[in-house]
Structure 1
Amino acid sequence: MSSSRGEAMKQMIVHCEPKLTQMALLEEGKLVEFAAERSQNHSLVGSFYKGRVVNVLPGMQAAFVDIGHKKNAFLYVDDVLHPNLEKQPKEKPAIESLLRVGQEVIVQVMKEPLGNKGPRVTTHYSLPGRWAVYMPNADYVAVSKKVTKEQERSRLKMLGEEIRQGGEGVILRTVSEDEQPEAIAGDLDLLRNQWNLIRKRAESSAAPALLHRDLSIVQRFIRDVFDPHHDELKIDGAKEAKEAELFLEEITHGSHLPVSVYQGHEHIFKAYGVQEQLERDFSRKVILESGGSIVWDQTEALTVVDVNTGKYTGGENLEDTVTRTNLQAAEEIARLIRLKDVGGIIIVDFIDMEQEQHRQEVVDRLEVGMSKDRTKSHVVGWTKLGLLELTRKKVRDDTSMLFTKPCDQCDGTGRINLIGIH
């Protein structure tokens, strides 16, 4: 695979405990993603279940499906219709014409249980591989928007049409850029075989039943963001390192850098500067290099970010000082949203700027930063009150929630940070 895309060299630093795995992703030494997974709480997103419809709600155009968990899964009418919009009826049908109580259906989890809500599921199935995403019933070919060269987009689109069968759908991922057709076709074959196994298990299983579980966090990050020819992977567990090595063998056919087993006496997060960055970046107040600051506050409905000039007075005039602070804050906010895995509505209170040109520069800087994020996001724009509104797809609880607990001194209005080494 070519690495001529100008991407920064990455390091995956993995800390393993008997019941917890923590993974930090560094780009040129800077922390950009952090994820953790407890062994008893394996992520549900991406997993397939054979479920049974237990309730159909015409007023909500939705159904509840028993997939074997404490809370029933939520299945909205849009997630029952054909995954290709062009093949959907012009008039949206009633949910009761599509599903009935007692009906068994294969569903895939698209959103974790959050708060009092059960998982959200869909029948728009997708199986991500290294170079492609396989959608057994979607009947279209798409190319990642991050592949910008028109000639390469055309090549990948034509290749997708050649290798898909019948009504299958294929998305060519960003890493498929400049990749050999044989590798992409082989990836799709593996995913197609995986889907056939899921269907066979469904035929022989009684609902509710787990049919397929998505990969572990380490395997997901290797599959989605790791360049096996240039990036480094360091793990402080010999068993986990061996498993990662075998997974790399499977997806690269032996063409990759070896996995390093960390054997230092110091904690791996301290040795690679991860712990210091975690403590800084997951604080409520983050100091910018210029001396300005950004303050994070989270509610159940949204996240609010406040930008302050702080000690920074380095511009030629007030407007210049404010704009420089806001531009630096925009870059940092984009990184921290990705790092903290913040989802839902996000409101940013930048320092007031008088010139429209400067306001647009701040939006552009934020959009460039968020374009590096694999999770779908959208900068909505400025509100009438001068706040910048954006949204980011919420798939799981924010990472920080796994490592905080309610403060017993303020009845839960604050949280005690436990992230990193403990």
Structure 2
Amino acid sequence: VSLPAVETLAGAEGTLSEEEVSRGEEEEAEEDEEVEEIPAGKGPKKVMLIDGAHPEEIRVAIVNDGVLDYLEVENQRRKLYKGNIYKAKVVNVAQAIEAAFVDFGGGRHGFLPLNEYCGGALIENLETWNEGDKRPHLRPGMEILVQVTKEESPIKGAAVTSYISIAGRYLVMMLGMKRYGISKKITGEKERERIRKNMEKLTYPDHLGFIVRTVGAGKPLRDLRADLTNLIKLWNRTVEGARARKAPSLLYEEQDIVVRALRDNYSSDIAEVLMDSPDSQRKASDFFDVYHPKQKNRLKLYRQKRPLFFRYNLEEQIERASLRKVPLSSGGHIVIDRTEAMWSIDVNSGRSARDRDIEDTAFRTNREAAAEVARQLRIRDMGGLIVVDFIDMEHRNHNKEVERILKEGLKRDKAKTDVSSLGKFGLVAISRQRMGISFYDVMLKGCELCDGTGYHSTLDAAVVRLMRKVHSDLARSQGKELAVRVSPSLLEAVVNQKREEITRLEKLCGSRVTFVSDPTLPSLSFSAAV
């Protein structure tokens, strides 16, 4: 056996859910001025911050009373598809799963559920097919317009729909819908009736429909007409491109993060829009020139020495938003875990023991957790199925109140959600539409050592696994020399614990083994070769 000397180691969309009705509806600061960071609960009530200091990663945040309320991150080096419209070609139709696969030019074929197939998106039917007309059967080779609704993953292609939608400022254009609709989030009957009267005065193409967005509430007829005209022009250019180009081809590209965030999230209750990049300021200025010229004084270019997000104490809040364990002010906490099938959120009372009665402790912790869960869903953009395990409570009124707080918090979420009642086991199931790419997927990656499980072998288990591998390879390669590259920490344990056993195996098998320390290997791993 050849064992090297080992030193002992010292220490071990856009497409917007709120608009889906039938288909799921400057003043510049002085550069040298020193400014203290703004703690939670201080400063302007509601501010939008756009961080473009590092152009490879653009971040947009909304801060409400100093508390992070919305976060979106976009990596400029990562190609995004969501919201884009493509001319695609049908590759295969799988009736067994009621879906088609289309080539739109992405890394993988797009997945088109047949219930997302609109007959008016076929190239041969553009501007001739109306809602209610019979849909032709999809066949391989057909050309069709599709829009990406969900980004592709390492194991799945992008999800697409042929019910095309393009968001304007006040309206959303939708293919396969007649005339107009009004967002369900506009609840005032007088306002809905006023909007209906204005929309009745407009002229619509037969093959297109339009939804009035929530930001369209209170807008005059001229603003709605201008938005309608712009959307129709944009659609006409898309159709012209579809007829002129070969499939696959990009026809319409969703706005970048700056314009998209302003379009989808800016409202009159935002006191300021601060940005630290001249490029972001230019884009925001162009947007406000068109849609909010009277509020353009709210745009401000930030020029302090201290970075913008540090100024508003956001970096620490963003770091906490990626942690598994989120503390509550009472001393309790929630634990967020992501699996392949769902997200799980566990509520724990922790050190929260101020109340003498265990029911009061559970009720107070659950109320805090319900509000924090709704906030975390928005910040992390957690999509799919989420199961929340609240602390068991005996009183029915307490269960109802926790359920109410959770649902009230979710009303602020632009994503479509469906919430179950709080059951007898303390579980609430939430189905949430994912709005974009979660910062989990932009800023984080799975652990290569544990393969995303959060666990890895103990030192003893790794030593035994290595010895079994050595025994097997020596037995198969009699008379040959086996070379094993081993991580330093594992090699140290083998040298100290298994010298005699290695010698015995060499004599038994008539072969020789050499161990080499390889710092490039992950901890407690090895690689053997004859």
Q: Same-fold call, TM > 0.5? A: yes
Q: What are the superposed Cα offsets for residues 214-271 of structure 1, whole Å, 9 maximum, x if unpaired? A: 1111111101111268431111111221122112212234643342222121222111
Match of 1:3 in 2: none
Cα distance in 2 between the residues matched to 1:35 and 1:414: 26
Q: CA RMSD in A?
A: 2.3
* 1:105 to 2:105 alignment: no
Greater shift in the superposed pair: 187-196 or 111-120: 111-120
Q: 1:117 to 1:192 in 2, by over 3 A?
A: same
Which string of whole-angstrom CA distances, capped at 9 and with x for unpartnered residues, describes residues 293-342 of structure 1? 11111101100001111222234622122111101110010001010000
The structure-2 alpha-carbon separation of the partners of 1:43 and 1:159, relative to structure 1 and needing over 3 Å to count, comes to farther
Contact 2:359 2:394 in 1 (8 A): yes
Describe the shift of the 1:314–1:163 C-alpha distance in structure 2 as closer, same or farther (beyond 3 A): farther
Query: Where do residues 283-362 of structure 1 align in structure 2 (5 Å cutoff)?
Result: 283-315=323-355, 317-362=357-402
Alignment map for 1:1-400 (pairs within 5 Å): 9-16=45-52, 17-81=54-118, 97-167=136-206, 168-227=208-267, 230-253=270-293, 255-315=295-355, 317-383=357-423, 385-400=425-440
Quote the Cα distance in structure 1 between the aligned partners of 2:333 and 2:295: 44
- 1:346-369 per-position Cα deviation (integer Å, ceiling 9, x unaligned): 000100011122111111110110
Give how far 1:142 is off.
Answer: 2.3
Structure 2, unpaired ranges of 5+: 1-43, 121-129, 456-530
CA contact (8 A) 2:258 2:280 kept: no
Distance in 2, matches of 1:200 and 1:166, equals: 16
What is the distance in 1 between the residues matched to 2:183 and 2:284? Answer: 26
Distance in 1 separating the partners of 2:408 and 2:270: 24
Please give the alpha-carbon distance, in whole angstroms, between the structure 2 residues aligned to 1:20 and 1:70.
Answer: 22
With 105-114 and 133-142 compared, the bigger mean Cα shift is at 133-142
Letter in 1 for 2:153: L
Name the SS of the counterpart of 1:241 in structure 2. helix
Q: How many residues align?
A: 401
2:315 alignment partner, SS class: helix
Write the distance in 1 (CA, Å) between the matches of 2:383 and 2:413.
12
Aligned partner of residue 420 in structure 2, secondary structure: strand
Q: Is this contact kept in 2: 1:230–1:257, CA < 8 A?
A: no
Partner-residue secondary structure (3-state), 1:358? helix
Is 1:291–1:312's contact at 8 Å kept on the other side of the alignment?
yes
Counterpart Cα distance in 1 of 2:316 and 2:367: 24
| Structure 1 residue 164: Cα displacement | 4.5
Q: Report how far residue 406 of structure 1 moved.
A: 2.8
Counterpart-to-counterpart distance in 2, 1:173 and 1:282 = 32
Q: Aligned partners of 1:327 and 1:414: how far apart in 2?
A: 29
Higher deviation after alignment, 122-131 or 329-338: 122-131
CA distance in structure 1 between the aligned counterparts of 2:334 and 2:314, rounded to whole angstroms: 20
- Mapped to 2, the partners of 1:198 and 1:30 lie a distance apart of 41
The residue type paired with residue 348 of structure 2 is: N
Q: CA deviation at 1:281?
A: 2.5
Give the aligned residue type for 1:242.
Answer: R
Q: Secondary structure at the match of 1:257?
A: helix
Contact (CA 8 Å) 1:346, 1:391: kept in 2 or not?
A: yes
Q: Relative to structure 1, is the Cα distance of residues 394 and 302 closer, same or farther in structure 2, using a 3 angstrom cutoff?
A: same
- For 1:147 and 1:301, how far apart are their aligned partners in 2? 34
Deviation for aligned residue 1:413: 2.1
Letter in 1 for 2:66: G
| Higher mean C-alpha displacement, 159-168 vs 341-350 | 159-168
Q: CA deviation at 1:146?
A: 2.1
Aligned residue type for 1:240: S
- Partner Cα separation in structure 2 for residue 134 and residue 29 of structure 1: 36
**Unaligned segments of structure 1, at least 5 residues:** 1-7, 416-422
Q: Post-superposition shift, 1:42?
A: 4.3
Which of structure 1's runs of 4+ aligned residues deviate more than 4 A?
A: 86-89
TM-score normalised per structure 2? 0.71
- Judged with a 3 Å threshold, the aligned counterparts in structure 2 of structure 1 residues 258 and 231 are, in CA distance, closer, same or farther, namely closer
The answer as to whether partners of 2:48 and 2:63 remain within 8 angstroms in 1 is yes
8 Å CA contact 1:307, 1:329 repeated in 2:
yes
* Structure 1 CA distance for aligned equivalents of residues 286 and 357 of structure 2: 58
